[in-house]
Amino acid sequence: MIVDGGVKCWGDNSSGQLGNGTNTSSTTPAAVSGLTRGVTAIALGELHSCALVGGVVKCWGYGLDGELGNGAANSGSVPVTVSNLSNVDAIASRGSHTCARSGATLQCWGLDTSGQLGANAMPQSNTPLQAAAFTSAVLGVTAGGAHSCALYGGTVKCWGDNASGQLGNGTNTTSMSPVTVTASWP
């Protein structure tokens, strides 16, 4: 939760995902170390968390599959800065990966077992990679457990796990590259 520009988290902390420098769970909101102001967005994965601060992304928690994006494959109980990423204005996390919009591009990092990074980085990437090349500016981004979607140029494209049809293209075929959502709108 963002409170006065800072972040507070609570709940399970077995992997340091509360960001307060401990691995002790908390039933009440605890301040995330070093994030007391300037936070404009937060995104929560399964066991990691990320925050957007002044165009930079900071992540903490479980990181053995690259979720922290700082070039290492280790966990951390305090926020670390995601490598080689600036001018970010939107973030999305879910499962074990995160994506960030930076201008017209989309960068993703973390677990990639189903192609959810959109960069064919199997099985993971410890630093941000450009998700598929989009032909116009990415307007929005969201993440599912093992898939990701982006809105650009009036089109929604999704990639990654599709076992339950979550890519919206009328199939159950997993895709490592973006496919167009083929929904009918009223």
pLDDT in tens, 61-119: 999 999 999 999 999 999 999 999 999 999 999 999 999 998 778 999 999 999 999 98
| This model's pTM is above 0.85 | yes
pLDDT at 183 over 90: no
Assess if residue 134 is contained within a domain: yes
Output the domain CATH number for residue 71: 2.130.10.30
Assess if residue 141 is contained within a domain: yes
Residue 138 in contact with residue 101, Cβ under 8 Å?
A: yes
Assess if residue 119 is contained within a domain: yes
Contacts of 31 (CB under 8 A, 6+ apart): 6, 7, 8, 20
Residue 50 in contact with residue 91, Cβ under 8 Å?
A: yes
Looking at per-residue confidence, does 41 or 136 come out higher? 41
Assess if residue 75 is contained within a domain: yes
Give the Cα separation of 72 and 30 in Å (integer): 26
Assess if residue 186 is contained within a domain: no
Contacts of 30 (CB under 8 A, 6+ apart): 8, 9, 10, 18, 20
Domain count, the chain: 1
How distant is the alpha carbon of residue 6 from its chain centre? 19
Sheet containing strand 138-143, strands side by side: 138-143, 147-152, 155-160, 175-180
Looking at per-residue confidence, does 154 or 31 come out higher? 31
Confidence of residue 155 (pLDDT cuts 50, 70, 90): confident
Question: What is the domain extent for residue 28?
Answer: 2-180
Assess if residue 185 is contained within a domain: no
Contacts of 60 (CB under 8 A, 6+ apart): 16, 17, 19, 32, 48, 49, 50, 68, 76, 77, 78, 79, 80
Assess if residue 79 is contained within a domain: yes
